[in-house]
Amino acid sequence: MVAAVRVHKPGGPEVLTFEDVQIPAPGQGQIKIKQHAIGVNFIDAYFRMGMYPSPVGMPFIAGNESAGEVIAVGPGVTDFKVGDRVAYVGPLGGYAAERVFAADRAVKLPDNITYEQAAGMMLKGMTAQYLLNRTYKVGKGTVVLMHAAAGGVGLILCQWANHLGATVIGTVGTKEKAELAKKNGAHHTILYRDEDFAAKVKEITGGKLCDVVYDGIGKATFPGSLDCLRPLGYFVSFGSASGQIDAFNINILQAKGSLFATRPTLNTYVAKRDDLVATAGDLFKVVGSGAVKIPIKFKYPLKDAAKAHKEIEGRETTGSIVLIP
């Protein structure tokens, strides 16, 4: 039996239950991982509260991201051996001291990436990678608006966009978060709880507005985010931290300047193994070179997962959060 955090019924952070579970031997194509560090993400809360239904029913082990070492390999696995250092983003089951996992969804960790770094970046960093390189191709001179710039995805995306030569504008909830976002690549910050962020974007850009808005907030920043875009700009709605955007009339995109809108998810972008390996490889490269740092601001024992959820949903956290089994 190993320690794990399970959800027996949807609800608030209090439904996260610390208990012992049995982890089976790895089956065909699977590896068994002793997990050394586990990432906490906003998506973990969506599954816990039932906004995203659990594909495995109830109860389920929460969590979608971890790093650790391979302790057993199942039949048919040729790419991994016992002792390999690995990391993954994947289906529920992350909040546990051990798990079995599909070998073809794991990646090997380079020696210069620690387990904690990996747990703090696989989901958030690969998301930043595809958002900046594939959903919209950010480069020198691109003007980017990133909401929740001091959050987990936020601090990584701001650094990376800056590294690519973009001008980065970040919205944040507090002055302390503004300081942090500025230290991590944001050229301008906006306190969107106090200021009209679209008016502020107009002022900062001298009326030119942004090429792309990365919006993980959802309900609270819609349709304001559209007013931050130049004609033919890209509205990238990649999350719903404040709740999901209500259905809207697509003609609003025409009225606001022939805008493009997309609702991407990492799963689609790394569905093919080649894409997974390339996306992770790109992330390892920017982190390994020091161009992007993984700010792990909050680290808790696995048993305190509920505290981590309370804090991320209470807007109290910045950067990445990891749990240690």
Ligand X SMILES: NC(=O)c1ccc[n+]([C@@H]2O[C@H](COP(=O)([O-])OP(=O)(O)OC[C@H]3O[C@@H](n4cnc5c(N)ncnc54)[C@H](OP(=O)(O)O)[C@@H]3O)[C@@H](O)[C@H]2O)c1
Binding-site ranges for ligand X (CB under 6 A) = 41-43, 123-124, 127, 148, 150-154, 172-173, 177, 216-217, 220, 238-242, 264-266, 312-313, 315, 317
Nearest to ligand X of 80, 192 (CB atom): 192
Is beta strand 30-40 parallel, antiparallel or unpaired with respect to 320-324?
A: antiparallel
Nearest to ligand X of 73, 144 (CB atom): 144
* CA pair distance 106, 120, nearest whole angstrom: 16
Nearest to ligand X of 112, 265 (CB atom): 265
Nearest-approach distance from CB 315 to ligand X, in angstroms = 4
* Of 150, 270, 249, 157, nearest in space to 212 by CA: 157
Nearest to ligand X of 114, 244 (CB atom): 244
Nearest to ligand X of 31, 308 (CB atom): 308
CB atoms within 10 A of CB 4: 27
Three-state DSSP class for residue 27: coil
Nearest to ligand X of 66, 317 (CB atom): 317
Phi/psi at 259 (5° precision): -80, 155
Nearest-approach distance from CB 72 to ligand X, in angstroms = 30
* Distances from the Cα of 233 to the Cα of 136, 143, 153, angstroms: 10, 10, 21
* Distances from the Cα of 196 to the Cα of 138, 191, 238, angstroms: 25, 9, 21
Nearest-approach distance from CB 97 to ligand X, in angstroms = 22
Nearest to ligand X of 4, 172 (CB atom): 172
Nearest to ligand X of 84, 313 (CB atom): 313
Nearest-approach distance from CB 154 to ligand X, in angstroms = 5
* CA pair distance 227, 248, nearest whole angstrom: 15
Nearest-approach distance from CB 61 to ligand X, in angstroms = 18
Q: Which long-range contacts (CB under 8 A, 24 or more apart) does 313-316 make?
A: 313/13, 313/42, 313/45, 315/173
Nearest-approach distance from CB 225 to ligand X, in angstroms = 12
* Distances from the Cα of 186 to the Cα of 5, 10, 167, 171, angstroms: 35, 36, 8, 9
**Helix segments in the chain, DSSP class H:** 42-49, 115-119, 122-130, 152-163, 175-183, 197-204, 251-255, 266-269, 273-288, 305-313
β-sheet bridge partners, residue 33: 70, 99
Nearest to ligand X of 144, 172 (CB atom): 172
The 10 Å CB-count burial string (b at 16+, else e) for 26-43 is beebbbbbebbbbbbbbb
Q: What is the dihedral of CA 266, 212, 226, 262, to 10 degrees?
A: -30
Nearest-approach distance from CB 28 to ligand X, in angstroms = 29
β-sheet bridge partners, residue 67: 37, 87
Nearest-approach distance from CB 185 to ligand X, in angstroms = 15
Nearest-approach distance from CB 111 to ligand X, in angstroms = 26
CB atoms within 10 A of CB 83: 8
